[in-house]
Amino acid sequence: MNRIRVLIVDDAVVVRRLVADTLASDPALEIAGTAPHGRIGLAKIPQVNPDLVLLDIEMPELDGLQTLKEIRRIYPKLPVIMFSTLTERGASATLDALTLGANDYVTKPANVGSVGAAQQKIRDELIPKIKGLCSKRLGTNGGPTAPLSTAPKAPAPAQLPKRIFVPRLGAGRIEAVVIGVSTGGPNALSAVLPQLPADFPVPLLIVQHMPPMFTRLLAERLTSISPLTVTEGQANAVVRAGTASIAPGDYHMSVRRDGSNVRLVLGQGTPENSCRPAADVLFRSAAEIYGSGVLAVVLTGMGQDGLRGCEAIRECGGQILVQDEETSVVWGMPGAVAREGLAGAILPLGEVGPAIVRLVAKSRGGN
């Protein structure tokens, strides 16, 4: 087996040991080395040749953000996962890191009660992301990880449609756009939302896999760069055209009909696809409320959240776009939808925003 070599850069000895021991217990992973701060970490990269760097944000000598800048300058393709604290400062720094080119992030175990619980959190949250970002080394496709001997092979790109939109017969006037996204999502949303006009005639509802606090800060950042008002979804809020609502971290978000209005519903039901919020929950409710008037967009992300919801949207006559493999950080979520033949188009990220605008306008009598 080609094991994934991980370099751990963190100033806390206890954290380095905990993470190293937990990762090393997985047969697909190997610890390439550790470093107590960014300067040593940078020096070790050419020495140990890691497949991925796990990078703390707050460190002496050279912090995570400065280290990330140097990694991206010297090693632009080397996957980097930020290891951040679940605090407002940590969340803000993490979003900065994603903007600077980090591939993903994981929050550090906190208040979990025991070493065993901390190790389980690392197994549940960090290891799948490492395998997702290094799927080519394992021979997987960015979906749910599997041992090398049983990993499914992705079909050749020629088997999938590209840049072709085939409307489903009976597709109706678009009344809402729903977006599901995970790994690489903040940057993907930062590319798509600024391309939508301030007078966008329908609401956007977004599920981005993120913990509490992160989603609020992401909404604020997207508002600052987009013509649209982007907010973290609030229970019972009326869904309005020209606004975008992001599901709050740790809450499923769905919609319900209330007379002439549609309102947001938040809940902490069972996670789906190991996710809460889950795109499937939003997509299913949108199919029920809007029927053929829903346009679903599935962007970069690990796993297959959104697949079952897209099946429901397709069954009711709605339309579906997905991001292509080349521009996705991980082609798990959009790839799962594409391979099932549900996508009307598979588009590079830069074409997703214009396609949304065009399809919405055309469905509503525009050009």
Q: What is the pLDDT of residues 319-360, one digit of tens each?
A: 999 999 999 999 999 999 999 999 999 999 999 999 999 999
Average pLDDT, the chain: 90
pLDDT of residue 140: 57
Residue 209 annotated to the active site: yes
Residues 224, 254 contacting (CB under 8 angstroms): no
- Tell me the pLDDT band of 117, cut-offs 50, 70 and 90: confident
- Domain 4-140 and domain 161-363, same fold? Reply is yes
Closest CA to 76 of 58, 40, 100: 100
Closest CA to 244 of 208, 281, 219: 219
Residue 182 annotated to the active site: yes
Of the candidates 84, 135, 182, 226, the residue annotated as catalytic is: 182
Of the candidates 37, 56, 209, 292, the residue annotated as catalytic is: 209
pLDDT of residue 123: 94
Residue 328 annotated to the active site: no
Of the candidates 51, 56, 280, 305, the residue annotated as catalytic is: 305
Half-sphere exposure of 361 (CA within 13 A, CB side): 12
Kindly calculate the radius of gyration of the chain based on its CA atoms and give it in whole angstroms: 20
Q: Any idea where the domains of the chain sit in the sequence? A: 4-140, 161-363
pTM across the whole model: 0.89
| 161-363 is a CATH 3.30.720.210 domain | no
The pLDDT of residue 157 is above 50? no
More confident residue, 48 or 90: 48
How many angstroms from the chain centroid is the CA of residue 332?
10
Closest CA to 267 of 258, 275, 277, 257: 277
Assigned superfamily of 4-140: Response regulator (3.40.50.2300)
- Tell me the pLDDT band of 141, cut-offs 50, 70 and 90: low
Q: What is the pLDDT of residues 171-224, one digit of tens each?
A: 579 999 999 999 999 999 999 999 999 999 999 999 999 999 999 999 999 999
> Is the peptide bond prior to 36 cis by the omega test (within 30 degrees of 0)?
no
